[in-house]
Amino acid sequence: MRAWVNGHQLADPHQPVVQVSDHGFTVGDGVFEAVKVVDGRPFALDRHLARLRVSALGLGLPAPDDALVRQGIAAVLEGEPLPLGRLRITVTGGPGPLGSGRGDAEPTVAVVLVPLEEAAPAARVATVPWPRNERGALAGLKTTSYAENVVALAEAKRRGADEAVFANLAGHLCEGTGSNVFYAVGGELRTPTLASGCLAGVTRALVIEWVGAREVDEPIEVLAEAEEVFLASTTRDVQPVSHWDGRDLGAPGPLTLAAAATWRRREPELLDPDVSASPGMR
C-alpha cells in the first residue's frame, strides 16, 4: 500500500493521520473514486476526476482541488509500477462537529494505491430485498456512505453469491453494490437509465459508447427472461454473470463475449501514457 494525505506522502501508510472528528469518519460525509491502474498507468483518470467533482458538488462539498488530487496520484504512483492496482481517491468534509452539521475546516484529501486481484471469470449474483432510493439526496453520487452496500453484500455472500443487486423504489432494476448491470432480451443489450438511481459508472458509459446498449428502466423481474447478463465496473471490467439467484445462466453469451473482447481491445486507449506529464502532477 502507498498512501498520501493532504499533501504529504506517508512513509508508513498504516499510521493514523485523519482526525477522529473528520466528517467522513463520523457521518460518512465524503466522496471517492476507485481507478484501475495497469502497469503503473491509471485508466480513464480524467473521467474519474470529473465524476469526483460531480459527486462532491452534489453532496455540498467544495469542488476538489484538481491539481492537489493529481499531486497525490503522482506521489503514490512513483516507484516500481504495479502490474494491476486500485487507486482510491477520497475527499471528505474534513474535521467537523460530531453530528450532521458541517464545520468550516478544509476538506481531507487522501489517495491510496493497493494491488488489485484479477476479477473472477464470472460472477454469482443475488437480488437483495432492500431498495435503492432513486429519489434520495445521494442517488447517483459516489459517496463514502456505503453501509447499505456492506449489508447487502454480506447477505449476498451468505447466499453463496459475490455481488448483490438492488431494485429501486419503483421495482425497477437498478445496480449492484459496486457494479452496473447489463442484460440481453431478444438479442438486444439493455441497461438501466441513470434515472433509476444507479451510479453513472465510468465502465458503464464506455460499454455504451464502445458496444452500444439501450438504456431502459424495467421491472427487475425482466432478468428472469434475460438470455445473458454481465456486470460492469472498474474492478470487474466486463464480467459475465453465471448465476442469478437460483438461475444458472450457463456460459457467457455472444453479446457478453463481444463486449468483453471490445473492452480488452480498446482499454489501452484510455490508459494515461505518462501520468507525471499531466497538469498539476509535477
DSSP states along 174-204 = EEESS-EEEEEETTEEEE--GGGT----HHH
**Cα torsion 101, 66, 180, 213: sign:** positive
Q: Which helix (H) or strand (E) holds 25?
A: helix 23-27
pLDDT tens, position by position, for the chain (282 residues)? 999 999 988 878 888 888 999 999 999 999 999 999 999 999 999 999 999 999 999 999 999 999 999 999 999 999 889 999 999 999 999 999 999 999 889 999 999 999 999 999 999 999 999 999 999 999 999 999 999 999 999 999 999 999 999 999 999 999 999 999 999 999 999 999 999 999 999 999 999 999 999 999 999 999 999 999 999 999 999 999 999 998 999 999 999 999 999 999 999 999 986 444 333 332
- Give CA–CA dist 45/202, Å, rounded: 10
Q: Domain-by-domain residue ranges, the chain?
A: 2-115, 123-267
CATH architecture for segment(s) 123-267: Alpha-Beta Barrel (3.20)
Name the residue with cell 482499454. Answer: 267
CATH architecture for segment(s) 2-115: 2-Layer Sandwich (3.30)
Burial (CB < 10 A; 0-12, 13-18, 19+), residue 223, is buried
- Give CA–CA dist 76/74, Å, rounded: 6
- Give CA–CA dist 102/206, Å, rounded: 36
Q: What is the pTM of this model?
A: 0.92
Q: In the prediction, which pLDDT does 9 show?
A: 87
Name the residue with cell 438511481. Answer: 197
Closest listed residue to residue 41, CA positions, set 279, 282, 224, 269: 269
